[in-house]
Structure 1
Amino acid sequence: MSQELFDIYDEHDQKIGTAPRNEVHAKGYLHHSFHCWIARDTPEGRKILFQKRQDTKDTFPGLFDITAAGHLSAGETVEDAVREVEEELGIPVRMDQLTSLGTIDYYATGTAGGQAFIDREKCFVFGYLLNLPLTAFRLQKEEVAGLYETDLDDAIALFERRVSAIKASGILSAQDERDSAQIFDTTLILQQFVPHKSDDYLHVFKELKKL
């Protein structure tokens, strides 16, 4: 099975070629990714949605992360990458429905499948105010273990380390398409999230308050 190819870039973000996914992460080549953060308004206030990564993911399995995100494959534009939202969450989205929240330079190292990785990304970040309940989403069970929402102000308090835990509601990916999602309550702590920089999380959260 052939590997997905990514466009790779130099320090000035000029394209210098393409490389297979494993090589990109083994050698730390700069590549592009798409992030979409979804928020919704409720009578209790504005909520933010997080996906829980499947336990089978090669990086950060089982941790909470961006609502929908993905790498840009070779030749793809950021506009093409909006497909990630429908693929992961089952909700069709157009780029003109999203609000740009700027770009983030992301860097992480670790191991995946016993191999060291260096992940260097320029992330194109978007916000989407979508007033749908959790049960309206159809999760891609191969990628997404669950979808959770919490009060946006509570999320800010958590990442500012003013509280140690926050309340959240969630649904799990259906194992069968005929299954209906059941909402349950839980609590989240900081250590359960993918270790992006707290400042990056907080920048996004505060921009989502403005949507």
Structure 2
Amino acid sequence: MSQELFDIYDEQGQKIGTVPRDEVHAKGYLHHSFHCWIVRDTGQGRKILFQKRQDSKDTFPGHFDITAAGHLSAGETVADAVREVEEELGIPVRMDELTSLGVIDYYATGTAGGKTFIDREKCFVFGYLLNLPLTSYRLQEEEVAGLYETGLEDAISLFEGNIDSIPASGIHSVKEGQAESKIFDTSLSLQQFVPHKYEDYLRVFKALKEL
């Protein structure tokens, strides 16, 4: 199977080439990504949704992360990348339904599948107020292990260091033809999240309060 190709950029934002995904993460080339954070209003206040990354992911497997996100493939624009929401969560979304929350420069290193990676991204971040219950989502099993929601104010308290864990409800992804996943209760701690900068998480969370 041919490998996905990414456009790579210099520090001035100029495209300098197109490179296979593995090489991008092995050598730490700067590339672009799309982030979509989903929140919903409930009788218990505003909730925020996190996806759990599959254990097969090439960066931070098994960690909790943005509701839906993905790299821009070669030749794609940010508007094209809105496809990630439907691919990962089974929910069709138009770009004009999203609210821009700005751009975040991201850098992280780690090891996954026995390989060291260097992940350098310019992340185009969006928010989406969508009042759907967890059971309305159809998760992409290859990418998403589960989908979880917790109180937005709880998430802010967690990343501000005021509490050690937060209660959450979740669903697991299921194979095609299997029965619908049942909602279960759990708790989340900081160590389970992809290590974006805490201040970046908090800037996004506080912006999501205003959607």
Matches within 5 A, 1:160-175: 160-175=160-175
Please name the residue that 2:29 is paired with. Answer: 29
C-alpha separation in 1, matches of 2:74 and 2:27: 17
Matched, 1:187 2:187: yes
Q: CA deviation digits over 1:27-81, x for unaligned, max 9? A: 1111000000000000110000000111121221111100000000000000000
C-alpha separation in 2, matches of 1:101 and 1:199: 14
Question: 8 Å contact 2:39–2:49 — kept in the other structure?
Answer: yes
Give the letter for the 2:69 counterpart. Answer: A
Give the letter for the 2:172 counterpart. Answer: L
Displacement after TM superposition at 1:3 (Å):
1.2
Give the letter for the 2:14 counterpart. Answer: Q
Please name the residue that 1:40 is paired with. Answer: 40
Displacement after TM superposition at 1:177 (Å):
3.2
Please name the residue that 1:83 is paired with. Answer: 83
Give the letter for the 1:136 counterpart. Answer: S
Give the letter for the 2:7 counterpart. Answer: D
Runs of 4+ residues deviating >3 angstroms: none
Of 113-122 and 140-149, deviating more is: 113-122
- Which stretches in structure 1 are left out of the alignment for 5+ residues? none
Sequence identity percentage: 80
Matches within 5 A, 1:190-209: 190-209=190-209
C-alpha separation in 2, matches of 1:31 and 1:200: 18
Displacement after TM superposition at 1:178 (Å):
4.2
Give the letter for the 2:203 counterpart. Answer: H
Displacement after TM superposition at 1:25 (Å):
1.1
Q: CA deviation digits over 1:97-141, x for unaligned, max 9? A: 000000000001112222221111000000000000000000001
Secondary structure at the aligned position of 1:60 is classed as coil
Matches within 5 A, 1:116-195: 116-195=116-195
C-alpha separation in 2, matches of 1:175 and 1:19: 32
Please name the residue that 1:95 is paired with. Answer: 95
C-alpha separation in 2, matches of 1:204 and 1:179: 34
C-alpha separation in 2, matches of 1:61 and 1:15: 28
Give the letter for the 1:188 counterpart. Answer: L
C-alpha separation in 2, matches of 1:124 and 1:40: 21
Give the letter for the 1:169 counterpart. Answer: S
Q: Give the TM-score normalised by structure 1.
A: 0.98
Give the letter for the 1:145 counterpart. Answer: A
CA RMSD of aligned residues (A): 0.9
Displacement after TM superposition at 1:181 (Å):
2.1
Secondary structure at the aligned position of 2:196 is classed as coil
State the number of aligned residues: 211
Question: 8 Å contact 2:31–2:120 — kept in the other structure?
Answer: yes
Secondary structure at the aligned position of 2:86 is classed as helix
C-alpha separation in 1, matches of 2:126 and 2:78: 10
Please name the residue that 2:14 is paired with. Answer: 14
Q: Give the TM-score normalised by structure 2.
A: 0.98
Secondary structure at the aligned position of 1:167 is classed as strand
C-alpha separation in 2, matches of 1:62 and 1:112: 10
